[in-house]
Amino acid sequence: MIYHPLRTLQAWSISMRCARNILYSITLTAFAHSALACGSDDPVPPSTPSLTVEFQRTPLVQSANGRTVVLVDFVVRRADRTPLEPADVDVVLSVDSKKLDVESLLTKADKRLKANLNLHLVLDASFSMLSQPLKNKTNTASNAFELMLSTAAESRDKVRTIWRNKSEDATVNVELTLFDKWIYHADGEWTDAQIMDFPPPGAGTETKLLGATHFAATRMKAQHDSMVASGERDKHVMIAFTDGQDNISTLDNTESPDPTTCPGFCSPPTRPRCQDGSLVPNCPNESDGLCHTAKLEAPYTSVGYPCVDRSAVADAFLGHPSLEVHVIGLGSEVDESELEYLASYGHGSFVQGGAADDIPQLFADVLKEFVTINSQGADIPQPAGNYRFSLEITDRERPSSRARCSFGYSNDPDEVGSLKSERGNCRAWPEE
């Protein structure tokens, strides 16, 4: 199940949202050619699935020396809200209804299309993750905790590949934080093996979800302020995963974790291993004599955290100029209203699965929410004046599903480099 708190689609309507004067979304229901009633402004139900188009921000328009550069970022969805990859759609760019020639179009190698990414994974490491069984016996993981770790590692690598394919010189920064009653932040970037080597939680550990997401949002704001992915088209994305309800964030445990009292992760955390180096309980001939304890060598910081509630987390999200938060809930024990609240204030989506085996698909659904951004640009020789820029978008698999978006701009030479575009609007295509 996918819940889009700020993207609820109303049938046969166009909705617009503006958030923090930077991130905004224009949602379009686009109809096939046959869906327009003759002599009427009202569309009739389409015979083919519709498209929606969501702009990620106000289009950027800059002009200098008789040339105008236009940059637009958007996501295209089918009627079931599934995002389409940029390769799944055809996009035609026009100015004043005249198609732009190929010499004016920017390629992905053009640095002006570059967009950096700062991704932060916030993962539940409470004891309940060990009690989530896997039905798929072919999976190498033995429980939801291990499957979450392996999926997070794979997702990190997938994001890097997709993002850099979109923008060749893009910088992709990925950070990892796990939580139970404490918060464990990876110092630097761990290898896949180091992620999988993180110890399983011990019995009795609590869930400090709000504290962990507040910690991550505060850190990401500091990174943005220090120029990490701080450009107008750069993105900061948090993915939070949990299988339970927060039950300790309203308590202050700012003292450092004590190895003598911490029942789960301790400092340094340990994880039982077989004599041959494989992880318990996968020893070929498991017995006390064949297993020993190995320290986690990956660098990390474990901290307690001040008490925070929902409103404090919402303030932290909104205090970041370009943060997007997606939330994954696993099982029936999650507090759906709380997770929807986080996704809403994080301008992201909430996805939920019923079983541990759903974890890979849940992560895949969330990744599509931001790796499917389509970035288009043009460098156009133009005299000063007022113009209307248009995008005509077609679903390659379903060519009768199309959309047109347009916005006006003025390339006043006396206002070089300033934003001069409208927010834009989308409508059924062909237009009435």
Domains of the chain in start order, with CATH, are: 9-113+373-427 (no CATH), 117-371 (3.40.50.410)
- Reduce the DSSP state of residue 147 to 3 states and report it: helix
pLDDT in tens, 160-181: 999 988 877 899 999 999 999 8
Res 227 pLDDT > 70: yes
φ, ψ for residue 364 (rounded to 5)? Answer: -60, -40
DSSP string, 279-301: BTT--TT--GGGEEEEE--S-EE
Q: What is the 3-state secondary structure (H, E, C) of 235-266?
A: EEEEEEEECCCCCCCCCCCCCCCCCCCCCCCC
Paired residues of 183 in beta bridges: 179, 303
Q: What is the 3-state secondary structure (H, E, C) of 187-215?
A: CCCCCHHHHHCCCCCCCCCCCCHHHHHHH
For 108, half-sphere exposure in the C-beta direction (CA atoms, 13 angstrom radius) is 14
With beta carbons less than 8 A apart as the criterion, state whether 117 and 170 touch. yes
| Residue 426 pLDDT | 66
φ, ψ for residue 246 (rounded to 5)? Answer: -65, 130
Using N-to-C axis directions, what is the helix angle for 144-166 and 359-371, rounded to 10°? Answer: 20
| Residue 141 pLDDT | 76
Res 278 pLDDT > 70: no
Q: Which residue has the higher pLDDT, 132 or 315?
A: 315
Rounded-to-integer distance, Cα 59 and Cα 55, Å? 8
CA 130 to chain centre: 26
Residue 20: pLDDT band by 50, 70, 90 thresholds?
A: very low
195-to-100, 137, 199 alpha-carbon distances in Å: 48, 22, 9
Q: What's the predicted TM-score (pTM) here?
A: 0.80
Percentage of the chain surpassing pLDDT 70? 73
Q: Which residue has the higher pLDDT, 253 or 41?
A: 253
Rounded-to-integer distance, Cα 56 and Cα 105, Å? 20
Lowest mean pLDDT among 61-65, 96-100, 312-316, 317-321: 61-65
Q: Which residue has the higher pLDDT, 300 or 211?
A: 211
Average pLDDT, integer, range 342-355: 95
pLDDT in tens, 110-123: 999 999 999 999 99
pLDDT in tens, 372-407: 999 999 999 999 899 999 999 999 999 988 899 988
Q: Which residue has the higher pLDDT, 130 or 74?
A: 74
Residue 105: pLDDT band by 50, 70, 90 thresholds?
A: very high
